[in-house]
Amino acid sequence: MIVCFDIGGTAIKGALATSPEDIRPFPRQPTPIRDFGAFVATLASTITEAEAIAGERPACIAISIAGVIDPDTTNAVVANIPCINGRPLQAELEAALGLPVIVANDADCFVLAEAGIGAAKGHRVVFGVILGTGVGGGLVVDGKLINRDGGFAGEWGHGPVQATEAGQPPIRLPRFQCGCGQVGCLDAVCSARGMEKLHRELHGESRTSEDILQAWQNGETAPARTVDVYIDVLTGPLSLVVNVTGTTMLPVGGGLSNVPALISAIDRALRTKILRKFDRPIVVPAGCRVEPGLIGAALLGLDYASGLKGK
């Protein structure tokens, strides 16, 4: 038995897991974002509840966070939870809770869930794509995270790679400022807010991404042009991800994945730009639509527990 958590800036979601098919969530609790003692106490209360139900001590604690573990310092980089930002989170939680702790990025947990029981089950190399408030991703090979020790692999949304000409016919584009400090990142133009920024640049009007995508599906000219340019900007760099990693399936999560027509259009465009030719879709909506971070954390913990039994 293991206990897993999906921790965000608003809520902590916990669960008891004994297998991939047996993940039992507990009620959500508010995240104590500024008090580390209260943060630890919240985790401990869930662990105590799980022990009472299972009648045993967990083999480990597995955590999904909306942040990164720096592989050089082992410190957590979690901007929206100040009480854990900059801490050697794994070591401090192990000392406080008296159990082995595994910490992973939420996008990494998402793709682990998709490779384990979701849309990419059965594929050896899986690159999970996040298209929502940000552009991110993660890579699983042979059922294992590339980022098993932390790190930034899979963060294809950052880096100065945005095209300055895109669409059919091509149109010149500025390179947009990104929140990470660089100019020309996909995160700045291919996130939901990025799509809105792109639409304003092309047409001089402000519309939400939901409105743009609905109008595109209704056949409106300006939104159709925005989506055409958006897909061209997105799929160029994504084709390099496919060629470099050899992934054979790219499940998509995040708010924009809720528009099947967009995911299908991205898939069709991407398959014209990659070296390996597929006669089936490779960009697909995620299969784990509910709590993928929690599922991914559970799979991490169960894999760790399985390794302990094998020793």
| pLDDT above 90 (res 309) | no
| pLDDT above 80 (res 74) | yes
Considering the domain architecture, whether residues 178 and 300 belong to the same structural domain is answered as no
Q: Per the domain annotation, does 113 fall within a domain? A: no
pTM of the model: 0.92
Considering the domain architecture, whether residues 271 and 299 belong to the same structural domain is answered as no
Considering the domain architecture, whether residues 99 and 191 belong to the same structural domain is answered as no
Q: Provide mean pLDDT across the span 245-250.
A: 98
Q: Per the domain annotation, does 110 fall within a domain? A: no
List 139's β-bridge partners, or say none: 127
Considering the domain architecture, whether residues 127 and 86 belong to the same structural domain is answered as no
Q: Per the domain annotation, does 114 fall within a domain? A: no
Give pLDDT tens digits for 99-120. 999 999 999 999 999 999 999 9
Q: Provide mean pLDDT across the span 125-149.
A: 94
pLDDT at 79: 87
Considering the domain architecture, whether residues 139 and 85 belong to the same structural domain is answered as no
Considering the domain architecture, whether residues 182 and 280 belong to the same structural domain is answered as yes
pLDDT at 311: 56
Q: Per the domain annotation, does 112 fall within a domain? A: no
**CATH classification at residue 81:** 3.30.420.40
Q: Per the domain annotation, does 262 fall within a domain? A: yes
Considering the domain architecture, whether residues 51 and 152 belong to the same structural domain is answered as no
Domain extent at residue 149: 119-285
Considering the domain architecture, whether residues 253 and 148 belong to the same structural domain is answered as yes
Pairing of strands 68-69, 125-131: unpaired
Q: Provide mean pLDDT across the span 151-177.
A: 95
pLDDT at 137: 96
Q: Which two tokens stand for residue 217?
A: 């599906």
| pLDDT above 80 (res 310) | no
Give pLDDT tens digits for 259-273. 999 999 999 999 999
Percent of the chain with pLDDT over 90: 93
Considering the domain architecture, whether residues 144 and 277 belong to the same structural domain is answered as yes
pLDDT at 103: 96
Specify whether the CB–CB gap between 6 and 103 falls below 8 A: no
Considering the domain architecture, whether residues 53 and 194 belong to the same structural domain is answered as no
Give pLDDT tens digits for 191-239. 999 999 999 999 999 999 999 999 999 999 999 999 999 999 999 999 9
pLDDT at 232: 98
Considering the domain architecture, whether residues 144 and 280 belong to the same structural domain is answered as yes
Q: Which residue has the higher pLDDT, 152 or 37?
A: 37
Q: Look up tokens 């001590």; give the residue.
A: 57
Considering the domain architecture, whether residues 35 and 151 belong to the same structural domain is answered as no
Q: At 65, is the pLDDT very low, low, confident or very high (cuts 50, 70, 90)? A: very high
DSSP string, 189-249: HHSHHHHHHHHHHHHS----HHHHHHHHHTT-HHHHHHHHHHHHHHHHHHHHHHHHH--SB
Q: Provide mean pLDDT across the span 29-52.
A: 96
Number of domain units in the chain: 2
pLDDT at 289: 85
